Amino acid sequence: MKKLIYLSIVILAFLSFSCNNESKVEQNTTEETTTLNLSPQLKMAVLWQQTAAEYQALCYQAFNLAKMQIDLMLANQVDPSTSAIVVDIDETMLDNSPYQAELILKGEQYNSDSWNDWCRLLQAEAVPGALDFMNYANEKGFQLFYISNRKEVVLTETIENLISVGFPMADKEHVFVRTDESSKLNRRAMVEESCKIVLLIGDNLADFSENYEGLTIEERSSQVDNEKSMFGVNYIVLPNPMYGDWEGTIYDGDFSISDTLKDEKRNQALKGYK
């Protein structure tokens, strides 16, 4: 009898162990399937920037328009020595798609450490048309300012990268990186202390005006409608499908939410049909 009781206890213990293990396996599988890596979702955007000649054509189109605007200003007797052209750097002057491609290849997502490492490599090349335009504007005597949200820790390398590619006026007097705020409003105001800003070039609407900061998807769209006559005239826009404030609006401005929630919000933002 004792033997039978002992055997029953052993069998029960085994069954219980086996059940616990099975439920752990099940739990692990569930966890694995819910851990989402958003990195591959960047692939088509990066491929478009790196392989589509349409990207190249849009950049040329933007800088041809910019050139037409400054030619018009000169024809209208605008004094270039007191007129500033303000440009953004990333995806406006410099092409950082190799950094984005590398993220996909490594299955990683953007983080400031890997971004700063990329900036320190000085490998970013010019966006198509950017260099010719900036050299042309420089020859015509305009004041050129680079306002970027790269951080101060890579200011020296950013200037070195711009110089190595051949950009004019790339020095500490003309390159303003991000210090304590991402808004470019105060840095534009610094430029306006000595010059009148006559043209702004960027890939992000906040490169043009503070009116585009902190808005929802719908509000950004309405604001673009309100200022539609400025695009191609005062504001020159470069294409950037890889990142920007537009992405943050999908998450209601909160980039700190989980990847799973980001994916859900991306799906919710898609407009299909019934």
Footprint of Mg ion on this chain (CB under 5 A)? 88, 90-91, 203
Q: N- to C-terminal Cα distance for the chain?
A: 70
Question: Which residue number, 143 or 240, has a Cβ lying nearer to Mg ion?
Answer: 240
Q: Nearest Cα to 122, choosing from 153, 86, 152, 154?
A: 154
CB 74 to Mg ion: min, Å: 27
Q: Report the residue number, 73 or 119, with the smaller CB distance to Mg ion.
A: 119
Shorter beta-carbon distance to Mg ion: residue 213 or 263:
213
Q: For residues 73 and 93, which CB has a smaller minimum distance to Mg ion in the complex?
A: 93
DSSP classification of residue 173: T
Q: Smaller CB distance to Mg ion: residue 90 or 95?
A: 90
What's the min distance (Å) between Cβ of 88 and Mg ion?
Answer: 4
Closest CB 225 distance from Mg ion, rounded Å: 22
**How far is the C-alpha of 83 from the C-alpha of 86, rounded, in Å?**
10
Nearer to Mg ion, 95 or 203 (CB): 203
Rounded CA Rg of the chain:
26
Cβ proximity of 187 and 216 under 8 Å: no
Neighbouring-strand partners of residue 90: 94
Contact 69, 197 (CB under 8 A): no
The least CB distance from residue 188 to Mg ion, in Å, is 15
Q: How far apart are CA 146 and CA 209, in angstroms?
A: 15
Q: Considering the complex, what minimum distance in angstroms separates the CB of residue 240 from Mg ion?
A: 6
Minimum separation from the CB atom of position 87 to Mg ion (A): 9
Name residues whose C-beta falls within 8 Å of residue 102's C-beta, 6 or more positions apart in sequence.
Answer: 118
CB 221 within 8 A of CB 175: no
What the block records as the tokens of 149 is 């949200």
For Mg ion, give the closer residue by CB, 83 or 204: 204
Please report how close the Cβ of residue 189 comes to Mg ion at its closest, in angstroms. 20
Query: How long is the chain?
Result: 274
Residue, CB closest to Mg ion = 90
User: Alpha-carbon distance 269 to 250, whole Å?
Assistant: 7
| Nearest Cα residue to 243 out of 61, 113, 104 | 104
